[in-house]
Structures are given as C-alpha cells and as structure tokens.
Amino acid sequence: MNPNLPNSFRTGPDERGHFGIFGGRFVAETLMPLILDLEKAYADAKADPAFQSEMNGYLKNYVGRPSPLYFAERLTEHLGGAKIYFKREELNHTGSHKVNNVLGQIMVARRMGKKRIIAETGAGQHGVATATLCARFGLDCVVYMGAVDVERQQPNVIRMEMLGARVVPVQSGSRTLKDAMNDALRDWVTNVHDTFYCIGTVAGPHPYPMMVRDFQSVIGDETRQQMQEIEGRLPDSLIACIGGGSNAMGLFHPFLDDPAIEIFGVEAAGHGLTQLHAASIAGGRPGVLHGNRTYLLMDDDGQIQDAHSISAGLDYPGIGPEHSWLHETGRVTYLSATDDEALEAFQLLSRLEGIIPALEPAHAIAKVLELAPKRSKDHLMVVNLSGRGDKDVPQVGDILKGRKK
Amino acid sequence: MTTRIDARFAELAKQGRSAFVTFLMAGDPDPATSIDIIKALPKAGADIIEIGMPFTDPMADGPSIQAAGLRALKAGMTLKKTLELVRGFRKEDNATPLVLMGYYNPIYIYGVDKFLTDAKSAGVDGLIIVDLPPEEDTELCIPAMKVGLNFIRLATPTTDDKRLPAVLANTSGFVYYVSIAGITGGAAADSNVVGEAVARIKRHTKLPVCVGFGIRTPDAARAIAQKANGAVVGTALVDALHASLDGEGRATPKTVGAVADLASALAQGVKGAKQAAE
C-alpha cells in the first residue's frame, strides 16, 4: 500500500476546500464573498437538526425516497457472474439522482433569503430538478443549457419550461455543458445580490463539491442499509458513471473507508480515447477551471478542449476534484465506456429488465457487462441507475434508425 | 523595489493627472497585427497597457472579449507567443508599464516558476489574474512578488470593508476597482458611486486606484479619471478593432488606426480630467 494514504478517505476537504492538491476556490473577487457566505450558511444548516428533519420529510414524501435496491435477476443470469443490484435513482421524482442535491441547495438558498435561482444543465436532468423545486417553493428559475444540448434533449427543455423556468440556450464555445457553466457564472457575477447558483455536480469552487457530495450521499447511505437487510452484508463492488461525478460520489462516499469494496467510476470515452471523448482522468491532466483544480481535457497551452459524448450529461471536459484525488490515491478505479458500448447497454437493459436507462448510467452498465462475468456468483455488485431514459428515447431512436438504413 | 508601474504613477502625480489604461487581447486578430496595435498605444496616449492572455473559458468576460480571445487562439496565439509580443514591444519602449491579464490555467500549465522567470525577463511589470483571489495567494501571487512582479488585485462592489484588508494585503502596483458587479462590456457605473467606492478603498491603502468595466467614451473616461488615479478601457477598444476587420475576421489596413484613433480620443478625455482629490 502507498504509505502516503490517509487514515480515512472521508474527512476531506480541508478548510480551504482542498482534496490533496485538488479543489480550492479559483473564482473572481466578485464571487468570493458569496462563496464565503454560502460556506457559512451551509455549515449552519448542517448543524441544525431542524434543517435535516425538514429535508428528510421532503426526501420521503416529495422525492419518494428511499429509492429501491433492486436485484437485476435477468441481467445477472445473462452475464453469469456477480449478483447485480441496481440502486434505482431513476425512480426519484424528476427521474434522476439530481433532485437529492437540488432539494438540499434550494433549502440552503431559502435560509439565505435568495429569491432567484440559476443553474447549468447538460442532459437537462439537473435543470428539470431545479425547475421543479423552484416551482415547489415559488422561486424564479433560469437554466443555462448549451445550444447543442437544447437540440438533443428537447423533452427536458419542454419540461423545464412547463415548470415555469426560463431556459437560456448558450451559443458560446462548444455550446455544451462547459459553456453553460461559464454563462451561469457570468450571470451570478452580474446578479450577486439576489441570486443563488445551484451547481448540479460535485465541482465548482469550495464548498460546492463538498456540499453536493453530502446531499448525494443519501444514495450510498441507503445502499448500505438496504444491502444489509437484503443480503446481510455489505456489497463487494460499486459502479457508477461520471461526468462531473455527483451520482458516483453519492454512492461511493459512504463506502470509501471499507477497503474490501472495489469501486469503479466510468467516464465517457465518446468515439474512443484516441479520438473525441469526455474522459478527463483517462485523457486529461490537472488544471484549473470553473473554480477548482482537477483533471481537465486541455491542450499544451492550457486551453480547454471540447469534450464529446453521446450523453449530454457526461459531455464535460472536467470531473469533480474529489474524484481526481480518489484517482491519485488509487481508492477508486476509473474506467471508460464509448458511445457505442453505452448504446449497446442501453438496448440490452431495456430488453432484459424492462428498464430504459438514461444514456449516462448506460455507460456504467456497459462496464458491468465486462466486470460482472469475471466475478464469482456470490459477489454483490451495485450499479447506480442514476436516471431514466425517457429524455434519450428520441435521440437513440434516431441513431438506431440511421444505422438500419 | 520600484517597478515601471510605480515610476509611471509617480510621474503622473507630478503632472497632476490620472492614468489612461488600455486593454487589448494579445494576438487579436493575429499576432503580427496585434504587436503593431500594442506598439501604437503609447503614442496614442496610453499610460499603462494591459495585455490579455487568451483563454478558451473567460468566465468574467462578456461577448466582446470572449470573441477577441477566440480570434487570437484561432490565429495560433499561445502564452509563449504573448511573452514574445512583450519582448518585441520592450525593444522599442522601456518605460510604458505592461500588465498581463487573464486566467490561471494557461500559466499553471506553462509552469508557475518558468512563467514568472520568462515574464520578468520579457519585460512584464504586473499580473492581473481574474480567478486567483487572496485565498489562493500561494499559487502565484506570493511567487510573483518574490521575483519583483506586481500582483494587481481586483476589488469589486462586493468587497466590503471587512474583506478589503485581505484583498489589499499582497496587492502592489495599483488596485483595479471593478466598478460594477458583472462581466466586462456590461453596464456603466455612475461616476459618483465610483467616487465613493474609490474613497473607501483609499482609506485602506496608499496604492493608486484605477477603475474599469463599463467605460466606453472619452466623456465617461474623463468622469472616472476625476474620481480615480486611472481609467481602464477594454471592451470599447476591442469593439473598435473588431469593427475594422473584414468579413472573415481578418485585419484590414484600417485596423491599427481604428484602435489608435479611439485610444487617442479616450486619452484626451482622461487628460481633460482634474486629478482626483487625494
């Protein structure tokens, strides 16, 4: 074992927001006082039992938690190896894990007296969750979404608008998630006095990576308890897809200090790692963007490169800083799946289990197809089924139709 | 250590006037035209020159400066070439202060120590790095001070009296007051409000205070120069450059003159101002 390994993987970040060399607060001075206010407001909320109990009420009765831990019997039989369980985050209200985090942040925003909420979104799942909770609590909502993503995720654009949010198509840069985040930051810097920026993943300046992780950790906490109830022990492996990495961090974090458990994150390899892709750890190196130091896709001059993934939710040239640290310490193994592998998994899961997954977790399923057959039949493998595929049905339908021609 | 920036402000104080500070993007619209533009600025009346280091994701900039950075990158600009541009300028002008402005990632990838050595030897005087607040001073600010480069900090309307001392602690050269909460090229601030903000900052520091964001015309430059030690103009100059390009975004024979003419008019505005009350 590496002698520099920490005693615990669950104590980060330090008071300056660092996970090893990663994380930090790399933002313009205009935003700095807001980030410090948020840090304090979140610390107060975390220490307030009333906050936790109010949140638990909404998680139960509005989101529909706990989400089931489901034994995927036919997929298990098909692969002939590990016993595969799905953590059914796609059954949450709004159709993905994103709502866990948004609920927490909106409740913090309310404590801070903020009336206007902004968010960035890739696939639109975070945007839909934000629009939903803004509707529920009567807050103004503006969602920045890359123009390319507006095209390929139309169902979610319509949902956000129906919920009363304003969706701003972002035309700058590669017109995907990275650019949506730039424009959300530009909005925030301009409307500092009344606006709360609800970041959708475990990235951005401290305290966001920590706060989003904490709100998503309900996934792993429930999984621990449910697996104990079903199998009488903890799982042997965990696997989840990674764009920024919030669904993965939510599942992984409560298990980081159980060294026997293998943990796998799956990045989007797009057309393949030697071509256009979105795998920051496999194909990037540490740099500074969007408020934190982390693995990024960039050229030799430090210019950020466009990512590519079939999945709008993974189409981001960076990854949350805590993942970069878990990679460097070796606690989590990061793999990648191509567009084609994800499409195969998307179809297989639809037919074997009657569950149409989002393209994002289809990347995790793609690696389950490789890993599960190599494990013994008493190996318990949990995959985070982080979102449902309704939003992807038109896009995947078009791609499959195009291939038949 | 006295830098070109300190010397320039001492000189301006003797003349009883404020500084005209220009911003243009290195390599916009192409490296060759860009150096001609930068070289024309002192003659047009620029007292201090800020040079943007192009970056793909300039989170604090509006559409004009974003587009300028992308034009420069498309024309092959890199941080190394930006330093070559500075070196080229210094062959002809050893007095006008040059400040590099941009974002941290290209410097981090270039290597902090190597960048500081190369920047200092090329003739850079100061750095403004938008995404390095005092909380991250160990990254670049402290090392820059050690090699004798000024680290110029942005203070903003959200920087209250409680926070100002932290912001000013490791600032040198001058303080750049961002007159509005927002991105470059946005709304203009009321000069009276700016005056109060400058006075507030001056209660905490003896450094000169320059004001930027939203200044587009000679009149606006004059109004700000009456309240502060300098007025910074960026977006208006970048827009003048952009308007002079051909349909393909390439430089034309008018490009250098278009920027220099606007710079001259703005400089006249600044020079028409009475020096800010100390």
Residue B277 lies in a domain: no
Residue written as token pair 């190599």: A374
Residue A3: per-residue pLDDT? 55
Query: What's the CATH code of the domain at B244?
Result: 3.20.20.70
- pLDDT of res. B277: 45
Q: Which of A89, A90, A120, A267 is catalytic?
A: A120
- Which of A135-144, A147-156, B85-94 shows the lowest per-residue confidence on average (mean pLDDT)? A147-156
Are B154 and A28 in contact (CB < 8 Å)? Answer: yes
Report which of residues A403 and B243 the model is more confident about: B243
State the catalytic residue, choosing from B28, B30, B61, B239: B61
Q: How many domains does chain B have?
A: 1
For residue B261, being part of any structural domain is answered with yes
Residue A83 pLDDT greater than 70, yes or no? yes
Phi, psi of B21 (to 5 degrees): -115, 125
* Catalytic-residue membership of A386: yes
- Would an 8 Å CB–CB cutoff place A186 in contact with chain B? yes
Mark which residues 303-332 of A lie under 8 Å from B by CB.
303-304
Question: What range does the domain containing B13 cover?
Answer: 4-180+189-271
Least confident of A85-94, A167-176, B103-112: A167-176
Query: In this model, does residue A184 exceed pLDDT 90?
Result: yes
A230 Cβ neighbours under 8 A, 6+ residues apart: A69, A71, A85
> Parallel, antiparallel, or unpaired for β A22-26 and A18-19?
antiparallel
A314-344 pLDDT, tens per residue? Answer: 989 999 999 999 999 999 999 999 999 999 9
The answer as to whether B276 is a domain residue is no
B169–A contact, CB cutoff 8 A: no
Distance from CA of A339 to the nearest CA of B (A): 26
Q: Say whether A27 and B133 touch across the interface (CB within 8 A).
A: yes
Give chain B's end-to-end CA distance (angstroms, integer): 23
Q: Is residue B278 part of a domain?
A: no
Mark yes or no for CB contact A302/B132 under 8 Å. no
Average pLDDT over residues A176-196: 94
Confirm whether B170 is domain-assigned.
yes
B156 touches chain A (CB under 8 A): yes
Summary mean pLDDT of chain A: 96
Judge whether B241 lies within some domain. yes
Catalytic hit among B28, B30, B47, B50: B50
Cβ–Cβ of B136/A25 closer than 8 Å?
Answer: yes
pLDDT at B1: 62
- In a mutational test of the A interface, the residue from B101, B109, B162 whose CB has the highest number of chain A CBs within 10 Å is B109
ipTM of the complex: 0.95
In a domain, B22, yes or no: yes
Residue B78 lies in a domain: yes
Nearest chain B Cα distance for residue A23, angstroms: 11
Q: Given this model, what pLDDT does residue A1 score?
A: 47
Q: Which residues of B touch A180 (CB under 8 A)?
A: none
25-64 in chain A: CB under 8 A from chain B: 25-34
pTM of the model: 0.96
Question: Measured in whole angstroms, how far is the alpha carbon of residue A19 from the centre of its chain?
Answer: 18
Q: What is the pLDDT of residues B57-99, one digit of tens each?
A: 999 999 999 999 999 999 999 999 999 999 999 999 999 999 9
pLDDT per residue as tens, chain B (278 positions)? 678 999 999 999 999 999 999 999 999 999 999 999 999 999 999 999 999 999 999 999 999 999 999 999 999 999 999 999 999 999 999 999 999 999 999 999 999 999 999 999 999 999 999 999 999 999 999 999 999 999 999 999 999 999 999 999 999 999 999 998 889 888 888 889 999 999 999 999 999 999 999 999 999 999 999 999 999 999 999 999 999 999 999 999 999 999 999 999 999 999 988 654 44
DSSP chain B: ---HHHHHHHHHHHHT-PEEEEEEETTSS-HHHHHHHHHHHHHHT-SEEEEE---S--TT--HHHHHHHHHHHHTT--HHHHHHHHHHHHTT-SSS-EEEEE-HHHHHHH-HHHHHHHHHHHT--EEEETT--GGGTTTTHHHHHHTT-EEPPEE-TT--TTTHHHHHHT--S-EEEE-SSS-TT-PPPPHHHHHHHHHHHHTT-SS-EEEESS--SHHHHHHHHTTSSEEEE-HHHHHHHHHTS-TTS---TTHHHHHHHHHHHHHHHHHTSPPPP-
Q: What is the pLDDT of residue B275?
A: 57
